[in-house]
C-alpha cells in the first residue's frame, strides 16, 4: 500500500516534470530567397521543402569559392508582424549586430546555428574557438527542420522575417519568412 507521503511525492514529481521550461512555439517556413553579388565567388540556392501534409523544412546550397578575411562581416535582422503584410513588419530585439565573421562563428553560429542545422548539413563544426581559415567548399543544408535550440523560448504568434547578410569580398545573404504559432502539446 502506498503511503500518503509517497503519493504526494509522486504527484509533486509529476507536476514538476510537467513544468519544464522550453520553447512554446512552432514554425512553418513560408519562403526562403537569396542573393549573391558574385556567383563565381559564392553561389547560393535556397528553397522551402514540403515533407508531408503539414511538415516543412528548408534547404540551402552554398558554393563557397572565396577566402574570408578580417573585413568579412555578418549581420542579421529579425522582424515580426501579425498580418504577414510587408508594410507591417517591425524590428525585433533578436538581431545579430554587424560583426566580423570569425567573431560570429564563435558566438551565434556555434551557440545556435549549428545546434539547429548541424544534423542536416555539412557546415563546419568545431570545439572551442574557430581557427581560420574558413574552408572553401560546397555546403549543403538538406531538408533542415530547426529545433529552436539557442533561440528565444517565447515568441509572439505571427510572421517573422529574418534577413541575413554577409559583406566583404562578395555580398550575399538570404531572407527567411516563417509563420509562428503556439506549440500544441
Q: How far apart are CA 75 and CA 25, in angstroms?
A: 24
Residue of 101, 98, 82 lying closest to 90 (CA atoms)? 82
Cell of 103: 567573431
Q: How far apart are CA 60 and CA 110, in angstroms?
A: 18
Q: What is the pTM of this model?
A: 0.82
Cell of 97: 549586430
Q: Are strands 73-81 and 137-144 parallel, antiparallel or unpaired?
A: unpaired
- The residues, any chain, with a CB within 8 Å of residue 19's CB and separated by 6 or more, are none
Handedness of CA 140, 158, 87, 108 (dihedral sign): negative
Q: Please list the pLDDT of the chain residue by residue as tens digits (185 residues).
A: 444 333 333 333 333 333 445 667 788 899 999 999 999 999 999 999 999 888 889 999 999 999 999 999 999 999 999 998 999 999 998 899 999 999 999 999 999 999 999 999 999 999 999 999 999 999 999 999 987 777 667 777 899 999 999 999 999 999 999 998 888 76
Residue ranges of domains in the chain, CATH in brackets? 24-182 (2.70.220)
Find the helix or strand (DSSP H, E) in which 76 lies: strand 73-81
Query: Sheet containing 42-50: which strands, arranged edge to edge?
Result: 42-50, 56-64, 137-144
Amino acid at each position: 500500500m502506498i503511503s500518503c507521503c509517497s503519493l504526494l511525492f509522486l504527484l509533486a514529481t509529476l507536476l514538476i516534470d510537467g513544468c519544464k521550461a522550453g520553447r512554446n512555439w512552432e514554425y512553418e517556413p513560408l519562403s526562403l530567397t537569396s542573393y549573391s553579388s558574385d556567383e563565381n565567388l559564392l553561389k547560393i540556392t535556397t528553397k522551402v521543402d514540403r515533407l508531408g501534409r503539414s511538415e516543412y523544412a528548408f534547404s540551402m546550397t552554398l558554393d563557397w569559392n572565396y577566402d574570408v578575411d578580417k573585413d568579412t562581416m555578418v549581420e542579421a535582422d529579425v522582424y515580426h508582424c501579425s498580418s504577414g503584410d510587408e508594410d507591417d513588419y517591425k524590428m525585433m530585439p533578436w538581431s545579430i549586430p554587424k560583426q566580423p565573421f570569425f567573431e560570429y562563428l564563435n558566438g551565434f553560429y556555434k551557440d545556435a546555428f549549428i545546434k539547429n542545422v548541424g544534423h542536416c548539413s555539412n557546415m563546419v563544426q568545431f570545439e572551442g574557438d574557430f581557427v581560420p581559415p574558413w574552408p572553401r567548399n560546397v555546403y549543403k543544408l538538406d531538408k533542415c527542420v530547426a529545433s529552436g535550440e539557442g533561440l528565444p523560448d517565447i515568441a509572439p504568434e505571427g510572421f517573422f522575417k529574418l534577413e541575413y547578410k554577409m559583406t566583404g569580398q562578395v555580398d550575399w545573404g538570404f531572407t527567411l519568412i516563417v509563420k509562428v504559432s503556439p506549440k500544441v502539446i
